Amino acid sequence: MTPCKQIRPFHTVLVANRGEIAIRIMCTARRLGYGTVAVYSEADRDGPHVHAADRAVCIGGAAPRDSYLNIPALIDAARRAGADAVHPGYGFLAENADFADAVDAAGLVFIGPAGAAIRAMGNKAQAKRLVLAAGMPCIPGYQGADQGDAALLAAAADVGFPVMVKAAAGGGGRGMRLVPDAGALPQALASARSEAEVAFGSAELILERAVLAPRHVEIQVLADSHGHVIHLGERDCSVQRRHQKVIEEAPSPAVDAALRARMGEAAINAARAIGYIGAGTMEFLLDRDGRFYFMEMNTRLQVEHAVTEAITGLDLVEWQLRVAAGEPLALAQDDVRLDGHAIEVRLTAEDVPAGFLPQTGPVLRWRPPPQEGGVRVDHGLVEGGAVSPHYDSMVAKLVAHGRTRDEARRKLLRAVGQCVLLGLPSNQGFLADCLADPAFADGGAVHTGFVQERFGERLSERPQPPLRTLALAAFAALAGAMPHQEDGRIRPAVLGGQAARVGLAQGDARWDAQLAAGGEGWQLAVQGGSFALRDAAWEDGARATLRVECDGITERIVVAPQGDALHCFHAGRAWSFERVSERKRRGAEGGSGAVTAPLTGRIVDVAVRAGDAVQAGQRLLVLEAMKMEHTLTAPLAGVVAEVCAQAGGQSAKGALLLRIEEAA
């Protein structure tokens, strides 16, 4: 198919997105001399991307449907701010054909493929039919129009279990379920439909035979309006949790030059078949025998595009802008060179032991690692800001480039260990564990089940802080109340010869510390250990970073007090403690039968009523937040004594949703 997209000159780009996505696009746009316009919701009024733009326009309330998904508001914002082009970023409306058409109809340039191409590949069922016609290898499955349970059950039996249930209209793991047998399929269909409707506005599903222990490998394509299409090699995105990518790298350890050429040719042929223009990604599953199968095409820039940029030396946003302006590609396929290796991790606001549960809250401390020696950090965080419940849980990307895979891995592991985010839980420690894992370091044993295979039940275990971390956290808790000199130094004499005590707790674990001053320093005792401290000083006026010599070794701890809580970052890990001496009495309402909201979100469904008898583990209600559904179950058997939630309502984190009285 011949590309058919009208080319118009443009001078000012409105970025129809937020956070690090908008900031990253504006950076390249400014470098090329384009003006930039940001849009923001009421929740993002003071967001970093707002300050990064030349102009900014408020487009509505905090909920995405009222702002970032509001097509008329976005078009109106472009007109009011004088923008003549729109870049959708990645996420929100980036793969919405109606948005691309609306931008074009308004006389603006859409920096991306034409609406027809997005529409052709935006539905997984239709996309599979199109690429099959172009000779693309696909996983056996069902993508029929009959969406009834009976038809899907029959199709699953023909395909063979286990099967994957997928939302036809979207990706990112939303609306996706692995189903082991026929008995589990009806509930999986209901849950996937509900999540897909919320995330993509369509409940249509497809089925695919589950490929066991595959790699997730994708090919980056780039096409201009003159009929030229090239690929920029592959990315390996196999390290995932809940079918969502955690670590991406380029090139893939499992792909050699011959396989790269075959996958690249298949991707180019499919892009040509739909007349694709711009940057896009063909996603494949790669089985143990080296066979690859088409999954879907992402008709937009990918989150993980930075690893491709690192090994090719190309700025993909620059080429999106140049192609949208009508320029031909300046390089042929044989001109593409892959230099070294790059690895990226996604830093997310999640509680890993709680099942990677998305988290919201204040950003009390944010210290990204230095961007040097091949390390890059894309983020939209600001200290003193907050992570909102309305948007995705990803808050930053850390990328490292090296001559070899292991050099890139070492650089990234060090960068992750220097990345400080305090105020809410994150997956920072989990990312470090993945990068340090021997199987990941080797590279050969990585597949989409890597996280569960390598970590398994350990994922639900909350790590215990090292004794040295406890000692420094306790000292920091007490030092916060000590007077200090203008240079930040703390004098031992301030204790007046009296011992000071503090208790720290995490859940049911408690540690008591005692600090005594003497001579040139202090002696701190905690959990049977004793530490000699001296030369303590705050390194900033905010009393955030404390430098202290502990048993002859000088090191730093970053702290952020918050009410009765003390958040700390030490030795590459973040910790949160409760200061026991200030702990408030807990009410009886927090007993074992109370079911509270683990995060702020919308109540999708309430499955029980007051008076119902329930069994431990029974489904009670479904909470939706950060584009994902979370099913809450009964903590014990008993009778529902009180229901405080209703479908369609909102609930704040920690709010009582319902209460169960334990059976006699």
> For 306-322, what is each residue's pLDDT tens digit?
999 999 999 999 999 99
Residue owning tokens 């204790």: 495
Q: What is the structure's pLDDT at 588?
A: 35
Q: Given the DSSP bridges, would you call strands 394-402 and 229-241 parallel, antiparallel or unpaired?
A: unpaired
Task: Residue 163: give its domain's CATH number.
Answer: 3.30.1490.20
More confident residue, 474 or 517: 474
Among the three residues 181, 209, 237, which one is the final residue of a domain in this structure? 209
Structural domain contains residue 133: no
Edge to edge, the sheet with strand 12-15 lists 55-60, 35-41, 12-15, 85-87, 109-110
pLDDT score of 387 more than 80: yes
Residue 258 and residue 397 in one domain: yes
Residue 238 and residue 344 in one domain: yes
Among the three residues 171, 193, 209, which one is the final residue of a domain in this structure? 209
CB-based contacts of 145, cutoff 8 Å, min separation 6: none
Which span out of 40-54, 135-149, 604-618 was modeled with the highest average pLDDT?
40-54
Q: What is the structure's pLDDT at 314?
A: 98
Tokens of 471: 């000692």
Residue 501 and residue 622 in one domain: no
* DSSP code string of 7-39: ----SEEEE---HHHHHHHHHHHHHTT-EEEEE
Task: Residue 104: give its domain's CATH number.
Answer: 3.40.50.20
Structural domain contains residue 6: no
More confident residue, 585 or 571: 571
Distance CA 545, CA 537 (A): 9
pLDDT score of 6 more than 90: no
Structural domain contains residue 126: no
Beta bridge partners of 281: 220, 298
Distance CA 140, CA 13 (A): 42
CB-based contacts of 105, cutoff 8 Å, min separation 6: none
Q: What is the structure's pLDDT at 15?
A: 98
Residue 444 and residue 482 in one domain: no
Q: What is the structure's pLDDT at 586?
A: 39
Residue 434 and residue 291 in one domain: yes
Among the three residues 460, 493, 521, which one is the final residue of a domain in this structure? 460
Q: What is the structure's pLDDT at 581?
A: 60
Structural domain contains residue 647: yes
pLDDT band for position 589 (50/70/90)?
very low
pLDDT score of 378 more than 90: yes
**Do residues 536 and 547 lie in contact, with contact meaning Cβ atoms separated by under 8 Å?**
yes
Distance CA 322, CA 13 (A): 13
Structural domain contains residue 5: no
348 residue type, one letter:
T
> For 629-662, what is each residue's pLDDT tens digit?
778 888 888 898 888 888 877 777 777 898 898 8
For the segment 11-35, the average pLDDT, to the nearest whole number, is 98
Give the number of other CB atoms < 10 A from CB of residue 256: 10
Q: Is cis: bond before 358, omega within 30 of 0?
A: no
For the segment 443-464, the average pLDDT, to the nearest whole number, is 93
Nearest to 22 by CA among 48, 61, 60, 42: 48
For the segment 223-246, the average pLDDT, to the nearest whole number, is 95
Q: Given the DSSP bridges, would you call strands 650-651 and 85-87 parallel, antiparallel or unpaired?
A: unpaired
Q: What is the structure's pLDDT at 345?
A: 98
pLDDT score of 161 more than 50: yes
Planar angle of CA 248, 249, 250, nearest 5 degrees: 140
Q: Is cis: bond before 48, omega within 30 of 0?
A: no
> For 56-99, what is each residue's pLDDT tens digit?
999 999 999 999 999 999 999 999 999 999 999 998 999 999 99
Integer CA distances (angstroms), 159 to 136, 139, 316, 353, 494, in order: 19, 10, 38, 35, 74
Residue owning tokens 């995330």: 199
Q: Given the DSSP bridges, would you call strands 35-41 and 12-15 parallel, antiparallel or unpaired?
A: parallel
Residue 262 and residue 377 in one domain: yes
pLDDT score of 582 more than 50: no
Structural domain contains residue 444: yes
Q: What is the structure's pLDDT at 534?
A: 95
Distance CA 247, CA 432 (A): 11
**Do residues 124 and 279 lie in contact, with contact meaning Cβ atoms separated by under 8 Å?**
no
Q: What is the structure's pLDDT at 410?
A: 98
**Do residues 106 and 75 lie in contact, with contact meaning Cβ atoms separated by under 8 Å?**
yes
pLDDT score of 43 more than 70: yes
Mean per-residue pLDDT over the chain, rounded:
91
Structural domain contains residue 615: yes
Integer CA distances (angstroms), 363 to 130, 416, 652, in order: 45, 17, 18
Residue 555 and residue 595 in one domain: no
32 residue type, one letter:
L
Distance CA 569, CA 421 (A): 8
CB-based contacts of 482, cutoff 8 Å, min separation 6: 490, 494, 495
Q: What is the structure's pLDDT at 489?
A: 92
Residue 543 and residue 566 in one domain: yes
Distance CA 281, CA 228 (A): 16
Task: Residue 241: give its domain's CATH number.
Answer: 3.30.470.20
Distance CA 344, CA 328 (A): 30
pLDDT band for position 3 (50/70/90)?
low
pLDDT score of 49 more than 90: yes
Structural domain contains residue 3: no
Q: How many CA atoms lie within 13 A of 17 on its CB side?
A: 26
Residue 340 and residue 442 in one domain: yes
CA 199 to chain centre: 15
Q: What is the CA radius of gyration of the chain?
A: 27
Q: What are phi and psi of 609, to 5 degrees?
A: -125, 160
Range of the domain at 555: 467-582
pLDDT band for position 585 (50/70/90)?
very low
> For 266-304, what is each residue's pLDDT tens digit?
999 999 999 999 999 999 999 988 999 999 999 999 999
Residue 402 and residue 418 in one domain: yes
pLDDT score of 592 more than 70: no
Number of structural domains the chain divides into: 5
Residue 477 and residue 615 in one domain: no
pLDDT score of 540 more than 90: no
Distance CA 651, CA 630 (A): 13
Q: What is the structure's pLDDT at 1?
A: 56
Residue 150 and residue 59 in one domain: no
> For 327-346, what is each residue's pLDDT tens digit?
999 999 999 999 999 999 99
Q: Lowest-pLDDT range, 510-524, 590-604, 630-644?
A: 590-604
Q: What is the structure's pLDDT at 309?
A: 98
pLDDT score of 454 more than 90: yes
Distance CA 196, CA 191 (A): 9
Q: What is the structure's pLDDT at 664?
A: 62
Q: What is the structure's pLDDT at 481?
A: 81
Q: What is the structure's pLDDT at 313?
A: 98
Q: What is the structure's pLDDT at 430?
A: 98
